[in-house]
Amino acid sequence: MSKEIIRVRDVMKRDFDMVDGMATVAEALKNMNFIETKTLIVNKRHEDDEYGIVTLSGVASQVLAADRSPERVNVYEVMTKPAFSVDPEMNIRYCARMFEHFGLVRAPVVEHRTVIGIVSMSDMVLKGLGSGS
- Bridge partners of 42, per DSSP, are 19, 52
Is the pLDDT at 49 greater than 60? The verdict is yes
What domains are there in the chain, each with its CATH number?
8-129 (3.10.580.10)
Is the pLDDT at 127 greater than 90? The verdict is no
Contact 16, 117 (CB under 8 A): yes
pLDDT digits (tens, 9 = 90+) for 5-41: 999 999 999 999 999 999 999 999 999 999 888 999 9
Is the pLDDT at 1 greater than 50? The verdict is no
Kindly report the pTM of this predicted structure.
0.88
User: What percent of the chain clears pLDDT 90, i.e. is strictly above it?
Assistant: 89
What is each CA distance from 55 to 63, 118, 133, in whole angstroms?
A: 12, 12, 29
**Residue 2 pLDDT grade (very low, low, confident, very high; cuts 50, 70, 90):** low
Is the pLDDT at 133 greater than 50? The verdict is no
